[in-house]
Structures are given as C-alpha cells and as structure tokens.
Structure 1
Amino acid sequence: MLGLGDINWRTQPHVQLASSPLSRFRSTLVPPEFSRWWLAPRSTYTSWQLECNCVWTYTMHVPPKKRLNERVAVLREGCGREEETSRIRAETLDETAMARTEVVTEVRLSVCVVFKAGSTAWNFLMAHLYNNTAILESREWYKMMNVLKPDWERYRQITASSKYTRVLMAREPLERLLSAYRDRIQDQTHYSHQASHYAPLIFHSVRGIRYSWRDLFHANGTLKMVPTFPDFVRYLVRTVPETYDPHWRPIHLLCAVCRANYTAVVHTETFQEDMHYIMKRTDLNTKIDEKLMYTENNKGRGNTQDLLVAYYSMLEPLVLEQIARVYKKDFILLGYDPTSLLNLISPNITIDWRGEGLWYLYS
C-alpha cells in the first residue's frame, strides 16, 4: 500500500466532478475530512481527485510498454464484441486504412497516420529520414503519405506479418474534433481547403442559406463569415460519418482498427514517450534523430480543458449527446472515456454517449 510519502500531490482550481467511493484508500491516502472521491484513469497515470475547495491529484507513472500493451488489449477486447462486418464494408475499411498507412520497410514498421493526432510530427520525421527534398522545401508534410503508402498486396502482407510493428495513432475524440475545427475552419489566417469546401455546406445545412462566393469569401479564398462551432457540429450530426473529412472522421473509419492487427496504439496525450519507445524497439532511432519529430509538433493554443469546456458548452445537450455518440466506437476501442469531460461541460444533464440509435441523426 502506498503511503503519503509516495504521493505527489498538486492542487488545481475546484471543479464539480462525479464521485465514487474508494474507501480502501481513505485511511492511507486521504485526509479524513474529505469524504468524496473521483477516480479518472488516464493513459500515463491514475488520478484521484477529491471534491473540496480544491482538487488534489495523485500521479503514478505507467511504463510505455505496459501502457501500449494495455491499449492493444482494450482494442482487441472491444473488437471482439463488434458485429461481423460485411464483405463490402470490410473492403471499404481496408482500402481507406491502406491509403493512410505509411511503411518504413527498413525497420519493419507501419503506421496508420491520423490527421490531428500527431501526423505532422511523424511526417516531418519521415521527410527527413528519406531526405525528400520536394516535401522538405514545400513543407507539405502530409504528402509523405503518398510516398510511403503500400500497394494492396503489400498492405495485406504487412497486416498479417508477425515481424511488423503496426502502430495506430489516436487522440481523445472530442479534443481531436475541436482541434480540427479551430485549425481547418475557424482559423482564417491561412487558406484552408476544409473551410472553403465545408463552409457553404454548413451554412446551407444549418441555416438554410446559400451564400454567393463574393458574400462568403475574400479574394485570397479565406472566409468572410466563419461557421460557429455549434454550426459545425450540427452539420456533422446531420451527416453520415463515413463521408466526413479525414481531419475529423472517426478513427475507426480511417484505420480499420479491428482488421489491421495493430500491435501498438499511440495516444497524442503521450505521443513523445510512446514514439520514443517504438523507435527504440524497432531501431528506427538508429537511423534518424527522434528529436526532429518534436521540432514540428503542432501545439494547441491555450489550456486544453478550458477550451474543451468553453466550446462544447455552446452546444445544446441533445447535440452534445449526438456528437459524442458519433465517436462512441473511438472512445471504447481506443481507450478513452468522455464521461468526466461531459460532466464538466453539462453538469446538470446526463449525456448518454453510450446510447444507440444514430439513425435519427440523419433525419
């Protein structure tokens, strides 16, 4: 049993959280005046937070190997409960995953590269590994996907091989969605294909208005009117997820997560440590300096939790529940639980993200 000397306590501003008793720890870990607890397991640590006038957090590190193995176990267990996929759907999933897979043959490593989940950092590293001067000069890192993707026969060999390390990139779904909106829709300091393509569709779907090009766009292609986050999300819950842009399409629809036999699931939240372990395990670290990967790592702007609460609090509870259900499989299969975040966003209403019935979203 851990004693108080083994604990790293730190305080944070008070937030009201769901609680559950952990009585067996009380005498050892908790000052007796506190009576309610909240347990929130995370990828790298276990966090016990107490409801009082502050939040106390205990942090215990989990080794990368154990963490990656646990995520794969969660994925395989979840996939074992999935219904059998039809042949046509399976082929579609495999084709999509193949297009997103990058293969580093020299070290027998494949990665399903997911936008907004570490893709820029990874492709920056790959561009340097293969000294692709065209991409290094243009800084269009995503084009490494076309350079390193396998053909169909090679993809099938890799997914069946016991000699390959097969990596799946993942990120907390609601955080990834918000990051995609802020970067590809809201940020008009640069031209974005997603803003140009989806803004007219969003306005027509949500507001019933078809704006002219002159009314909607500046001469350089950036938006004069930017869809709000509620507009964006309402558009998504009226749209079939399989048709989403790859920046916000659910990962289980991008990477065939139950078909590609992944041996490691890398979370953005622990990206640096996870990739350090994988590069060392595959000897990729002997071919290129992994520190390059972190020089081009897109960092979010602002406190992540504050941003999540601020943006998602704009949504009506029903819409919040709908969008959470769109990413239900990502939560379950990739080892995330949005319950605590949803409680922060909507403290007075229970959001049933595990519910069924996505059919009504498209009516």
Structure 2
Amino acid sequence: MLTTAFCRKEVRILVYVILALSLFSFVHVSLLKLENLKALRDLEEKVELAREADGAQETEREEKEEKEEEEREEKEEERTVIHRAMEFSSASRGRRKKKKVQAKGAKGIGEEKRRKWGEKDKCKSLHGDVAEHFFDDEVVKLNWTEARSQARRELLEERAKVLLEACATLDDTEGALKPPLSVIYQNNLWLKENNFVYCPINKVGSTTWITSLLQMAGEETSHGRGRIRRIYSAPLSIRDRNAFLKKATRMIIVRNPLDRLLSGYRDKMLHLICKENQFSAMQQLISSKYSDPDTPPDPSGRPSFRQFLLFIRDEMEKFWQSHGQYEVNNHWKPFWWYCAPCHFEYNAVAHMESLSEDQEHILRETRLYGRINNTRTHSSKNDNFTSTREAARWYFGQVPRGLLREVVHLYRPDFDLFGYSADYHLGLARDD
C-alpha cells in the first residue's frame, strides 16, 4: 500500500514535470516565433526603406538628367543667339570700317559728313521733312458692354478653331509647320504677371504695342525692339515655358497678307529716305532690277508696286526653296514662320481689320486695361490715300492678275491659317 502511494506520488511529480516542460517548450517556441516575426518585420521595413531610397535616388537622377537636358538645350539656344549676334556685329563693324576708310581716303571725315548733311538738306527741301510723313496714334474709346464682350469672346474662339483645323490639314512637306522655335521664344513677349504672351509682327500694329509696353515698364520708347525682349523675356526653363503657355492668353495680330504687303510697300518703298539705310538701298535695287512698262521711272528711285511684287515673288521663292534658310525681311516675312502658330496655338487671334474691338476685349481679359491704351494706328502719309481700301483699289489695279496669283500662292499658309481670302484683291488686278 505504501508502495502504491509512493508510485502515485512519483507519477504525479512526473506528470507535473512533463506539464512544466511542455509549458516551457510552448512558451519558448512562442517567444521564438515572436522574435522571428519581429525580425521578419524589421527586415521588411529595411527592404521597404531601401526601395524608397532607391526610388528617391532614381527620381533624383531622372530630375537631374532632365535638368541637365534643359540646361543643354538652353545653352544651345544661347550659343545660337550669340553666334548670330556676333555674325551681325562683325558684319556691321566691317561695313562701318569700310565706309570710314573710304571716306578718309576720298575727302576726309569732316568733308564727307558735310556732303551727307548737304544731301540730306537737299532731300528735305525737295520732298519735305520726313518727320511729317506719319500720323499720331489715336486712342479709341468704346462703349463696352458684357454682350459686346461675349460676342468678341465667341469670335476669338472661332478664329482659334480655324487656326487649329488649318494646322491639322496644312501640307507640311515644305516645313511650313516647323519654323525655328528657339528664335520665336526670343521674339515673343512674355508678360508673366498677366499670364499673357504676344508675338509682335511688323506691319501689323506691333510698333504701337511695343511702345505701350515700354511705357508700362517705365522705359524709353525709341529703338525699343531689342530692349523690350529683355524686359519681357521668356521663362528660363522649357518646363516653365510650357507650363506658362498652358494657362496664358496667347495673342497674335494678323491682317490680310496682301494688305500687309501693300502696307510694307507704302511705308518702306514710298518713304523718301534722306539717309543711307537698308530700305534706301532696297529701293534703288528693286527699281533698277525689275521693269514695269506701264509706270514711268520715279526720279528719286522709288519702285512701282508691280516692281515691288516682282521682288517679293523672287524673295519668297528663294525662301521656300531654302526651307526658310534664306533671310526675308521681317516686314514681309510670313506669319507662320514669324510666330509658329501651329506650335503656340494662339487663343487670341486679333485681326487688323477689327483691331479696336479685338484689343478692347483682350486688354480687359488680361487685366491690362487702364495700363495700356486701346490705340488705332493710321497709315503713313507717303501717298494721297487715307484708307487701306482706297489704296488697295489703286495699287492692286496696276498689277497683272497672274503675278498676284503667284504671290498669293507663296503666302498660302497665312491665308488658310487665319481665314483670309485673296478674292477681293484678285478682282482688283488687271487682266494679263
């Protein structure tokens, strides 16, 4: 009996020991699992952190590469502009030096100046002071209403639609949609505070706008085309430019291409210039190179409108044949090459024919109203006509229709992009 009791006691102790060992093993295994789970979580966190670090490095590397690419492009643009400026400066210095040497070798600088002054005074006495050949700009006052603004808004939207549709269908085999964007970035005026971009085109109201913008900036207005580009320069990076263009009002002012050519002729070919410059030399070149059997030669060497259009035809043919590399004067350079409308997609297309209303709406929409006046520019007083329509009837009536068709063909993209027609002017031209 004692033995049985003892055995029972030993069994109980053994059972207790086994239970204790089992509990210990269970606790130990649980702790090991917890440690392993924690270690696994720590490892996962480290892996995630490593991935995030790799992602950040990759993003930083991509941003760095993108920034380097932008810097390379900007430096390339800057080198192009500087190279052209150096070429222009060198050529100008060469011409000035040559003229100076010639003057010294002939009669001396003092006598040469006196001779030029005498010729200028003679020119003034024969033809009048050239300062009187221009009208002053007129400030336009309109009774503006919301209904008027809405009608103008819808018209500008329609013009922008015409531009986009023409860009989508225009034949690009001649590179008509690919002008040099780096130059256009430099030429455009960027009003960052007003979210406004403007492409100034010669003979389409650009002088008035440039003068007004210089006055707004508190700058002198004489010879301002170079200074105004520095004042209203483009954003430095391509990314900033593109972001700005997306939200900006992008304005271009255009007119019927044939009326623009006539304006260029009346201003630059009929203007009696009492000093040597590119246009006085151009007048002599055109009048001597091209013939017009129906118009007597001008004593002062000014060409007829027909001679001028023959010159324009030859210039534009060289321009197309060289894919835009041949330099055409800015006063008759095509709109599409000057402002790249299919790249910038101008959403404020103003027409010279309705400029007072177009400008009023744009000035109010861009918060420039009150800072810039809505002005109307009159034509120069180089002939007896006071309106463009009267002048068109006279001058285009002297031109053979075949020649005018050739000129229209060379400016065809400008007609299509901005919804203009040549029918009226072709109807004025005389039969061949």
Tell me the TM-score normalised to structure 2 length. 0.55
**Following TM superposition, by how much is the alpha carbon of 1:290 offset from its aligned partner in structure 2, in angstroms?**
2.1
Given the superposition, is the C-alpha separation of residues 62 and 284 from structure 1 closer, same or farther in structure 2, using an over 3 Å criterion?
Answer: closer
**Following TM superposition, by how much is the alpha carbon of 1:341 offset from its aligned partner in structure 2, in angstroms?**
3.0
> Residue 267 in 1 paired to residue 343 in 2?
no
Structure 2: gaps spanning 5 or more residues: 1-147, 292-298
The 3-state SS of whatever aligns with 1:225 is coil
Greater fraction helix: 2
Q: Aligned equivalents of 1:253 and 1:88: distance in 2? A: 7
**One-letter code of the match for 1:306?**
E
**Following TM superposition, by how much is the alpha carbon of 1:336 offset from its aligned partner in structure 2, in angstroms?**
0.8
Contact 1:126 1:144 in 2 (8 A): no
Deviation digits for residues 191-225 of structure 1 (CA, Å, limit 9, x no counterpart): 58442342344245425xxxxxxxxxxxxxxx931
**Following TM superposition, by how much is the alpha carbon of 1:182 offset from its aligned partner in structure 2, in angstroms?**
0.8
In the alignment, what sits opposite 1:113?
Answer: 200
Q: Aligned equivalents of 1:88 and 1:69: distance in 2? A: 23
In the alignment, what sits opposite 1:342?
Answer: 426
**Following TM superposition, by how much is the alpha carbon of 1:61 offset from its aligned partner in structure 2, in angstroms?**
11
Deviation digits for residues 264-294 of structure 1 (CA, Å, limit 9, x no counterpart): 11111111211111111111225x1424x44
Q: Aligned equivalents of 1:148 and 1:85: distance in 2? A: 37
Q: Looking at CA atoms only, which structure, 1 or 2, has the larger radius of gyration? A: 2
Identity %: 24
**Following TM superposition, by how much is the alpha carbon of 1:129 offset from its aligned partner in structure 2, in angstroms?**
0.6
In the alignment, what sits opposite 2:158?
Answer: 70
Q: Aligned equivalents of 2:395 and 2:175: distance in 1? A: 39
Contact 2:213 2:372 in 1 (8 A): no
**Following TM superposition, by how much is the alpha carbon of 1:305 offset from its aligned partner in structure 2, in angstroms?**
1.8
Contact 1:110 1:166 in 2 (8 A): yes
Kindly report which structure 2 residues correspond to 1:110-149, keeping only aligned pairs within 5 A, or say none: 110-132=197-219, 135-136=220-221, 139-148=222-231
Given the superposition, is the C-alpha separation of residues 344 and 226 from structure 1 closer, same or farther in structure 2, using an over 3 Å criterion?
Answer: closer
Q: Aligned equivalents of 2:350 and 2:274: distance in 1? A: 29
Given the superposition, is the C-alpha separation of residues 89 and 336 from structure 1 closer, same or farther in structure 2, using an over 3 Å criterion?
Answer: closer
In the alignment, what sits opposite 2:109?
Answer: none
The 3-state SS of whatever aligns with 2:155 is helix
In the alignment, what sits opposite 1:162?
Answer: 246
**One-letter code of the match for 1:63?**
A
In the alignment, what sits opposite 2:307?
Answer: 231
Q: Aligned equivalents of 2:303 and 2:174: distance in 1? A: 37
Given the superposition, is the C-alpha separation of residues 229 and 87 from structure 1 closer, same or farther in structure 2, using an over 3 Å criterion?
Answer: closer
Deviation digits for residues 219-262 of structure 1 (CA, Å, limit 9, x no counterpart): xxxx9311211111101111234432111111111111111121
In the alignment, what sits opposite 1:290?
Answer: 373
Greater fraction strand: 1
Q: Aligned equivalents of 1:122 and 1:88: distance in 2? A: 27
Given the superposition, is the C-alpha separation of residues 310 and 62 from structure 1 closer, same or farther in structure 2, using an over 3 Å criterion?
Answer: farther
The 3-state SS of whatever aligns with 1:64 is helix
**Following TM superposition, by how much is the alpha carbon of 1:153 offset from its aligned partner in structure 2, in angstroms?**
4.2
Cα root mean square deviation, aligned = 3.2
Contact 1:100 1:149 in 2 (8 A): no
Given the superposition, is the C-alpha separation of residues 305 and 319 from structure 1 closer, same or farther in structure 2, using an over 3 Å criterion?
Answer: same
Contact 2:170 2:413 in 1 (8 A): no
> Residue 256 in 1 paired to residue 345 in 2?
no
Given the superposition, is the C-alpha separation of residues 157 and 169 from structure 1 closer, same or farther in structure 2, using an over 3 Å criterion?
Answer: farther
Q: Aligned equivalents of 1:196 and 1:156: distance in 2? A: 44
**One-letter code of the match for 2:280?**
S
Structure 1: gaps spanning 5 or more residues: 1-59, 208-222, 350-363
Contact 1:127 1:141 in 2 (8 A): yes
The 3-state SS of whatever aligns with 2:204 is coil
**Following TM superposition, by how much is the alpha carbon of 1:100 offset from its aligned partner in structure 2, in angstroms?**
2.6
